[in-house]
Structure 1
Amino acid sequence: MLDDFPFYLCLVIVILLLIMLSRKIKVAYPVLLVLAGLGISFIPGLPTLHIESELIFILFLPPLLYDAAWHISWKELWHWRRIIGSFAFLVVFFTALAVALIVNYFIPGFTLALGFLLGAIVSPPDAVSVGAILKFVKVPKRLSYVLEGESLLNDASSLIIFRFALIAVATGSFVWHQAALSFVWMLAGGIGIGLIIGYMFMKTHKYLPTDTNTDIALSLLTPYMMYIAAEAVHSSGVLAVVSGGLLLSNYRLRYLSSSSRLGGLNVWDSLSFVLNGLVFMIIGLDLPQITAGLERVSIAGAIGYGLLVTGVLIVGRILSAFAAVLVTLVARNFITVADSRNPGFKLPFLIGWSGMRGVVSLASALSIPVYLANGAAFPQRNLILFITFIVILTTLLLQGLTLPYLIRKLNLTDPDEVAPDEEVYNDIRKQLNQHALLYLNSNCCEQVSRQPMLQQMALKWQNNDQLADGLLMTEESKSVYRDVLNLQRKWLINKNKEDVNIDEEIIRRHLLYLDLEEEKLQFI
């Protein structure tokens, strides 16, 4: 390991350079990283990278899921819960079923159980790839919300199907009532364990004498504790991390100080940046390990099978997107839906086309055991690995490179945009200023009369200006200002709950500004 350390160090440097290049040429960095890893894997004399699936599941998956749950809007997740739930669970199941039927018919030696196993592996789209692409183009908010929400849950549903299919292949039988009970436990147990551990960590942050460094360290431990605890009792570690992450994110203002929130934001952004870069480079570097196991099937034949499965996934997802729209249009006659308007063909087509596969598919394929319990080799393991690699590579290149072009070409309008984001942001700032000024005039008249800094603050809020630098704040002024900041936070949270048309991202921008203002009090 120590002998290969310079290689891994150079690998990290290459990843950083490629990510900077991707921003320069406006190409999603997962695409460049996979291609670079693929190219590096052909260089002779380099160390062979042997990837353990447990390394990806334990080391990479929990923090990446936790970070995604931390950033997503619970309000929007709940608002679009039906479409997100259908894609995260129903579409994943029907995708796995379609793959199982197709490979059982076209690939010699593939049973339905093996087909379901492969379908479970390749069914969940990768959130990181989609997120990286959407940064370069403007899309309707509902598209990003649906894709982000789906990505949080589809990994759990695909891994549940994967476990059941693995049991069916290993034992040669499948007991439906046992599977149903196990499925319920994986869902309920995973969510419950995540919420319990999240609540315990929340109370630890709140009542123990922690500081910023301790809070950040605890936040790094949290996803691993959730994942390991859930997996130890055979429930869903993915759902545990997602549910616990959503709980802690939703109540972050109650148990974390502004310093901890700002510090944690920087640490988690850097950690996710490095982990995402590594996993996509690993996908490309893993090609020699995958192709080495192909014996009975030619490379050309295996590539053909991979392209066949890719085609099933792309067509199936597009059809599912249009089917979801059709179901919504019918359901609006009987129940209240998030949006009863007909979205046309553009939006569902883009949802269907945003189906790049990534790290979870690779990790699932690698976690297939080499041997069965009776000592026999696991059937078709190497071919499943190769097909998974082809699916990841093809969807990243085909859909990843064309999705930005399609978004610009279709020229989608945002039906949820009541006004430009900056206009909404400035309007909320004016309301915040008025709320703060009312508080000062009603509760702090005496302090304002004595403190020049408070007078300047009142003038700032009255004129909707930024606070000028140069005046030192007394402890009395700081105390009043902290009270005002807390009042503004509460107002923003209530505003977010009461106004369904406001994008939560705008609210979070204001909350971040208030945290920065509170942090500045340490230095003025």
Structure 2
Amino acid sequence: MFHDFPFYLGLIVIILLLIMVANKAKIAYPVLLVLGGLGISFIPGIPALHIDSELIFLIFLPPLLYEASWAISWKELWKWRRIITSFAFLVVFFTAISVAFVANYFIPGFSLALGFLLGGIVSPPDAVSAGAILKFVKVPKRFSSILEGESLLNDASSLIIFRFAMIAVATGQFVWHEAALSFVWMVIGGVAIGVAVGYIIMKLHRLLPTDANADIVLDVITPYAIYIAAEEVHSSGVLAVVSGGLLLSTHRLGYLSSSSRLRGINVWESLSFVLNGLVFMFIGLDLPEITAGLEDQGLWTATGYGLLVTLVLIVARFISAYMAVVVTLIMRNFITVADARHPGYKVPMLLGWAGMRGVVSLAAALSIPVQLDDGTQFPERNLILYITFIVILTTLLLQGLTLPLMIQKIKIPDPDFIMPEEELYNKIRRKLNYYALEQMRADYSKEMDEHPVLYQMACKWEDTGQLGDTTAIMADEAKEVYRDILERQRKWLTTKNREQNIDEEIVRKHLLYLDIEEEKLNLL
């Protein structure tokens, strides 16, 4: 391993360069990373890469899921909960069933159990790829919220299918009532453990005399602690991490200081950047190991099977996207839905095409054991690995490269559009500053007379609606007054966010600005 250390350092440099090229060309960087890894794998003398699935599940998956759960809006997740859970569970199950029957019919030696196993592996779309694409194109907020919410939950449902299919392949039987009970425990137990461990972590942050560095270290440990705790009791570690992450994200203002929040953002962005880069590069680098085991099937035949499964995935997702519209139009007569209007054909088309596969599928395929418990070879393991690779590569290249063009061509109307984002941001800023001015005059009029800097800040809020200049030297008493005003502004923002239909991204930008203001106070 130490002998290959320079190679891995060079790999990180290559990842950085490829991501720079992808950003410059406005291409989703997972596409270039997979192709880059694929190209490097053919260079003579390159160290053979063996990816341990446990490495991906334990080292990579928890922090990536945790970071994604912090980035998503709980308000948007709850608003679109029906369509998100439908895509994350029902669509994943429908996709797995479709793959199972097609594989059983067209691929020699594939039983239904093996088909379900393959379906569970390739059914979840990848969150990182979709997110990387949406950076370069303008889409309605609801579209990105649905994709982000789906990607948080679909990994859990696919891995549940994968576990049950593994049992069926290994034992040759499938007991439905036991599987149903196990499924309920994996879902409910995963959510409960995630919330419980998240609550304990939140209490530790509050009770321990931590500083920003200690808070960040504890925060990095958190997703691993949640994942391991859930997996130890055989519940869903993925759902546990997502649930714990959503809990902690929602209450971040209550247990983390402004310094911890500001520094934590930088740490998590850098960490997820490196982890995402490595896992997509690993997909391309692992090709020699995957193709080495294809002795029984020819390479072209196996590639054909992979393309067939890819076609099934695309068709199944399109059917699911349009069926979701039909169900919504029917159910709006009986229940209150998030939006009862007909979405037309454009949104389901783009949702159907946004089905790139990624690292979770590869990790699941690699976790298939070489041998069964009785010592016999696991049936069709090498073919499943290769089909998974073809699915990932094809969806990344085909859908990943064409989705931005489709979005630009189709031009989805945004039914939630109120005013331009910058105008909305400035409107909230003015209201926020007027609220601060009222609070300052009501509760700190004496301090305004005693500390000119507070009076100057109030005058600026009143005259221009801009934040006051806090770079001047302030007495400790004036700092405490301003800290209290900042905290009241945070509470005002969070209250408005709950009560009104405000874009949470804009609210978070204001909260970030308030954290920066408080951090500036600490440096004065």
Please say if residues 88 and 153 of structure 2, whose CA atoms lie closer than 8 Å, have aligned partners that are also in contact. yes
What code does the residue aligned with 2:297 have? V
- Counterpart of 1:488? 489
What pairs up with 1:226-375 in 2 under 5 angstroms?
226-375=226-375
Q: d(CA) in 2 for partners of 1:25 and 1:91?
A: 33
Partner of 2:201: 201
| Alignment deviations for residues 370-395 of structure 1 (CA, whole Å, 9 cap, x no partner) | 00011000000000000000000000
Q: Distance in 2 between matches of 1:72 and 1:308?
A: 34
Aligned equivalent of 1:135: 135
RMSD: 0.7
Distance in 2 separating the partners of 1:121 and 1:520 = 49
TM-score (norm 2): 0.99
Matched, 1:149 2:149: yes
Once the two structures are superposed, what CA deviation does each residue of 1:423-465 show, in whole Å capped at 9, x if it has no partner? 1111111111111111111111111011111011101211212
| Partner Cα distance (1:211, 1:38) in 2 | 43
- The Cα shift of 1:347 comes to 0.6
CA deviations 1:198-219 (Å, max 9, x no partner) are: 0000000011101111000000
State the secondary structure of the residue aligned to 2:523: coil
The code of the aligned residue for 1:257 comes to S
Aligned to 1:478: 479
**In the TM superposition, what whole-angstrom CA distance separates every residue of 1:462-513 from its partner, at most 9, and x where no partner exists?**
12124236521111111110000000000000000000x2111110000000
Counterpart amino acid of residue 256 in structure 2: L
Residue 276 of structure 1: SS of its match in structure 2? helix
Give the C-alpha shift of residue 365 in structure 1: 0.1
Letter in 1 for 2:354: S
Indicate the residue corresponding to 1:451 in structure 2.
Answer: 451
The 3-state SS of whatever aligns with 2:142 is helix
SS of the residue 2:109 aligns to: coil
Q: Give, in whole Å, the separation in 2 of the partners of 1:390 and 1:327.
A: 33
Aligned to 1:15: 15
Over residues 112-151 of structure 1, what are the superposed CA-to-partner deviations in whole Å (9 max), with x where a residue is unaligned?
A: 0000000000000000000000000000111100000000
Deviation, structure 1 residue 418: 1.4
Specify the SS of the correspondent of 1:522.
Answer: helix
Match of 1:50 in 2: 50
Structure 1 spans left out of the alignment, 5+ residues? none
Q: Aligned partners of 2:135, 2:71: CA distance in 1, in Å? A: 15
| Separation in structure 1 between the aligned mates of residue 470 and residue 51 of structure 2, nearest angstrom | 53
Residues in 1 aligned to 2:514 and 2:438: alpha-carbon distance in whole angstroms: 18
The Cα offsets for residues 301-347 of structure 1, whole Å up to 9 and x where unpaired, read as 00000000000001110111010011101111111000001111111
One-letter identity of the residue aligned with 1:467: G
Cα distance in 2 between the residues matched to 1:159 and 1:466: 49
Q: Which amino acid aligns with 2:31?
A: V
- Give the conservation status (yes or no) of the 8 Å contact 2:470–2:520: no
CA distance in 1: counterparts of 2:268 and 2:93, whole angstroms: 32
Aligned pairs (5 A) from 1:366-385: 366-385=366-385
Asked whether the 8 Å contact 2:121–2:159 carries over to 1, the reply is: yes
Match of 1:191 in 2: 191
1:507 aligns with 2:507: yes
1:188 CA drift (Å):
1.0
Q: Distance in 2 between matches of 1:270 and 1:391?
A: 29
Instruction: Please give the alpha-carbon distance, in whole angstroms, between the structure 2 residues aligned to 1:468 and 1:62.
Output: 41
Q: Where does residue 2 of structure 1 map in the other structure?
A: 2
User: What CA distance in whole angstroms lies between the structure 2 residues aligned with 1:124 and 1:255?
Assistant: 34
Q: Percent identity?
A: 70
Aligned-partner residue type, residue 133 of structure 2: I
- Contact map agreement 2:126 2:356 (CA 8 A) in 1: yes
Structure-2 change in CA distance of 1:170 and 1:446 (3 Å): same
| Number of residues of Structure 1 aligned to a counterpart in Structure 2 | 523
Q: State the TM-score, normalized to the length of structure 1.
A: 0.99
Question: For 2:115 and 2:492, how far apart are their aligned partners in 1?
Answer: 53
Corresponding residue number in structure 1 for 2:93 = 93
Which amino acid is 2:67 matched to?
A: D
Alpha-carbon distance in 1 for matches of 2:523, 2:290:
56
1:40 maps to which residue? 40
> Does the 8 Å contact 2:471/2:520 carry over to 1?
no
Aligned twin of 2:216 = 216
- Structure 2 SS opposite 1:414: coil
8 Å contact kept, 2:139–2:412: yes
Return the offset for 1:411: 1.2
2:447 and 2:173 mapped to 1: Cα distance?
A: 77
**Using the alignment, how far apart are the partners of 1:390 and 1:371 within structure 2?**
23
Q: CA deviation at 1:351?
A: 0.5
The residue matched to 2:179 in structure 1 has which SS? Answer: helix
Q: In the aligned structure 2, how far is the partner of 1:282 from the partner of 1:425? A: 40
Secondary structure of 1:458 counterpart: helix
1:77 aligns with 2:80: no
In the aligned structure 1, how far is the partner of 2:345 from the partner of 2:11?
42
2:289 & 2:92 partners in 1: Cα distance?
A: 28
Taking the aligned partners of 1:337 and 1:138, their CA distance within structure 2 comes to 25
1:394 maps to amino acid = T
Secondary structure in 2 aligned to 1:45?
coil
CA deviation string 1:146-177 (max 9, x = no partner): 00000000000000000000000000000011
- Structure 2 Cα separation of the partners of residues 417 and 102 of structure 1: 42
Which residue does the alignment assign to 1:440?
440
Contact 2:433/2:467 (8 A) holds in 1: no
Change (3 A) 1:375 1:34: same
Determine the C-alpha separation between the residues in 1 that align with 2:523 and 2:271. 28
Matched position secondary structure for 2:489: helix
**Aligned position for 1:498:** 499
| Distance in 1 between residues matched to 2:155 and 2:372, nearest whole Å | 25
Letter matched to residue 227 of structure 1: Y
Equivalent-residue separation in structure 1 for 2:478 and 2:318 (angstroms): 58
Distance 2:142 2:460 in 1: 36
Equivalent AA in structure 1 for residue 492 of structure 2: W
